[in-house]
Amino acid sequence: MDPNPNALSRTARYAGILYLVWIVTGFYSMLYLPSKIPMRGEPDVIAQNILAHEFVFRTSIINGILSGALWVVMVLVFYQLFKAVNDRQARLLVALVIIQIPMILVLEALKITSLMLLKGGLLKSFALLQRQEVALLLLKVEGHGAWVLELFWGLWLLPLAALVYRSRFLPRFLGVWLGVCGLAYVVLFLIDLLALPYRSAYFRYAFPAMLGEIAFMLWLVIKGATVPPAEPSVSPGRAAPSA
């Protein structure tokens, strides 16, 4: 554990600020973007929605790349914070984030390609409707790729939960909450993969568990890390008083 409590708390708050910004980027892609560009309806309607909000669509691509970069920086800060707790679990935490970055970049590349198709920059010999259908196919592949990432959204939280629980500078209830949150994401992935008709109902019940990340982030930003006082030790050279 970091022998300097102030340095440890600064590192925790830095991680919390990065976590806050990262969560904001997630809200942008999961809440704001779908509200501006509905992805339902006929191919020509969806294509018109995308082109009518091209700037928003482009910012979503930038947001996705920025989110991945922030995630890497954040998990490296977490490694510095928790490596003294358990170095092996801290390394696993980093690995479970790093392996997602190539897939995130591929998914953003699919969005770029779909936009180029809709604007006529690719497959110019194809009819407009054909280009629209290919573009929407790429966007569907991107959406299914996001389903796969749901698994890793849960898996990376499991070593983080264990590290928080084992640390002496963060409350254990946050570790338990993060662990339940991670398992909730894994179950959500399985529901999507198996096409079970329970997603809406499950999400409604699992939502409190998924607030574990926000609770953890707020604790880091507001409280930082609190190192418990060291237990007093008896000097071995001091003899016990005689009767």
| Boundaries of every domain in the chain | 5-146+214-222
pLDDT (tens digit per residue) in 20-54: 999 999 888 888 888 888 877 777 888 888 998 89
For residue 185, what pLDDT is reported?
A: 92
pLDDT (tens digit per residue) in 164-192: 999 989 999 999 999 999 999 999 899 88
Spatial distance between the Cα atoms of 113 and 186, rounded to a whole number of angstroms: 30
For residue 98, what pLDDT is reported?
A: 96
- Is the confidence at residue 146, as pLDDT, over 50? yes
For residue 169, what pLDDT is reported?
A: 93
Among the ranges given (112-116, 165-169, 228-232), the one the predictor scored with the smallest mean pLDDT: 228-232
User: In one letter, which amino acid is 201?
Assistant: A
Model confidence band, residue 243 (pLDDT cutoffs 50, 70, 90) = very low
Burial call 70-105: b when 16+ CB within 10 Å, e when fewer: bbeebbbbbbebbbebbeebbebbbebbeebeeebe
For the range 111-116, what are the long-range contacts, defined as Cβ-Cβ under 8 Å and sequence gap of 24 or more? 111/57, 111/60, 111/61, 111/64, 111/138, 111/139, 111/142, 112/61, 113/138, 114/50, 114/138, 114/139, 114/142, 115/50, 115/54, 115/57, 115/58
User: In one letter, which amino acid is 106?
Assistant: V
pLDDT (tens digit per residue) in 193-207: 887 888 888 888 888
- Is the confidence at residue 124, as pLDDT, over 80? no
